[in-house]
Structure 1
Amino acid sequence: MKILHVEGGRNFYGGAHQILLLMEGLKARGIENVLACRVGSDLAKVAAPLAEVHAIRMEGDLDFGLIQRLHRVIRLTHPDVVHLHSRIGADVMGGIAARLAGVPVIHSRRQDNPESRLAVALKYRLH
Structure 2
Amino acid sequence: MFSLHIDTARTWRGGQNQVLLTVLGLRALGHRTMLVAHPAGELRQRAREGLELLPLTPRTEMDLSAAWRLARVIAQERPDIVHAHDPHGLAMAALARSMSTRADVPPLVAARRVDFHLRGNALSRWKHRQVTCFVCASEFIRRMLIGDGVAAHRTVTVHEGIDPGRADAAPAAD
> Please, which runs of 5 or more residues in structure 2 have no aligned partner?
132-174
CA distance in 1: counterparts of 2:7 and 2:26, whole angstroms: 17
Q: What displacement does 1:23 show?
A: 1.1
Task: Name 2:21's counterpart in structure 1.
Answer: 21
CA distance in 2: counterparts of 1:55 and 1:49, whole angstroms: 14
Task: Name 1:90's counterpart in structure 2.
Answer: 89
% identity of equivalent residues: 29
Task: Name 1:61's counterpart in structure 2.
Answer: 61
> Please, which runs of 5 or more residues in structure 1 have no aligned partner?
none
Report Cα offsets for 1:50-95 as digits up to 9, x if no partner: 62000024213132222102112212322110001101x2212212
SS of the counterpart of 2:60?
A: coil
Q: Is the 8 A contact 1:24 1:50 kept in 2?
A: no
Q: What displacement does 1:115 show?
A: 2.2
For the pair 1:40 / 2:40, whether they are aligned, the reply is yes
In structure 1, what residue type is equivalent to 2:93? G
In structure 2, what residue type is equivalent to 1:91? L
For the pair 1:123 / 2:122, whether they are aligned, the reply is no
Structure with bigger RCO (C-alpha 8 Å, 6+ apart):
1
Q: Is the 8 A contact 2:58 2:67 kept in 1?
A: no
C-alpha distance 3-121 of structure 1, shift in aligned 2 (>3 A): same
Q: CA RMSD in A?
A: 1.8
SS of the counterpart of 2:118?
A: coil
Q: Which runs of 4+ in 1 moved over 6 A?
A: none
In structure 1, what residue type is equivalent to 2:97? A
SS of the counterpart of 2:70?
A: helix
In structure 2, what residue type is equivalent to 1:121? R
In structure 1, what residue type is equivalent to 2:117? P
C-alpha distance 50-25 of structure 1, shift in aligned 2 (>3 A): farther
SS of the counterpart of 1:108?
A: strand
| Structure of larger gyration radius | 2
CA distance in 1: counterparts of 2:56 and 2:96, whole angstroms: 14
